[in-house]
Amino acid sequence: MDFSDVNARGLVLVGCGRMGGALLDGWLKNGLAAGAVHVIDPNPRAELSDLGISVNGELPGDPAVLLIAVKPQMMAEVLPRLSVGGDTLVISVAAGVTIAAYEAAFPAAPIVRAMPNTPAAIGHGITAIIGNARAGAAQMALAQALLSAVGRVVRLDSEDQMDAVTALSGSGPAYVFHLIEAMAAAGAAEGLSPALALELARATVAGAGALAVAQDEDPARLRENVTSPGGTTAAGLAELMDPDHGLPPLMRRTVAAAAARGRELGR
């Protein structure tokens, strides 16, 4: 990744919690100079200053990038404290906060709204991005390069898609973690020890996800490959795929509820 302009002009990271911290770790591993980073955070990690990162200090007047990684509920307090011009790329990773809100705060700036997810912490995230009219090819490429440090990046056709992305991939890891909980509880109910059931559930979900990514095949085909007619998997899937009470209608309600909440946050 070519971070030469960012290294020269600086990057301001507002919020260095789980997501901001994961992004920072990815940037440093991919060539961003620690001295170019300026972190604003009320409870910064102790080791940041030891790395040569500026923490809650004087900010550059014209940074290459301002990345905002705070909770959406904090935006009304945070945005009025920040000021950048038209040469600074503004990137936000907050759910629900619209590009219009950032344009009101930074009227001259190119703005990219992004939605990563928590597997970014281990470099396996996926992030969706969309830019405003001022974000040209160079700014979009820079945003993609920065966010690629923690996983894959996809570009959206319109901002209207962001609430669905937030509900699916942004919130999705929590759904998968709950699936692991439910599978482990079901295994324990069938006589396994809770520890063994949890180990089996974790490894099964991780392995199946890795297989789905590695083979890049229709998941329905992968499911069929595991399912023998009249066998144990078929018996389980009969319950899971019930059109009225199975997983498909439940997941539809789950994602719809999360998307609706994202739209509420954006008002």
Residues annotated in the binding site for NADP(+), as ranges? 69-72
Question: What residues are designated binding site for NADPH?
Answer: 56
Concatenated DSSP letters of the chain: ---HHHHHH-EEEE--SHHHHHHHHHHHHTT--GGGEEEE-SS--THHHHTT-EESSPPPSS-SEEEE-S-GGGHHHHGGG----TTSEEEE--SS--HHHHHHHSTTS-EEEEE--GGGGGT-EEEEEEE-TT--HHHHHHHHHHHGGGEEEEE-S-GGGHHHHIIIIISHHHHHHHHHHHHHHHHHHTT--HHHHHHHHHHHHHHHHHHHHHHT--HHHHHHHH--TTSHHHHHHHHHT-TTTSHHHHHHHHHHHHHHHHHHHT-
Q: Which residues are annotated as a binding site?
A: 56, 69-72
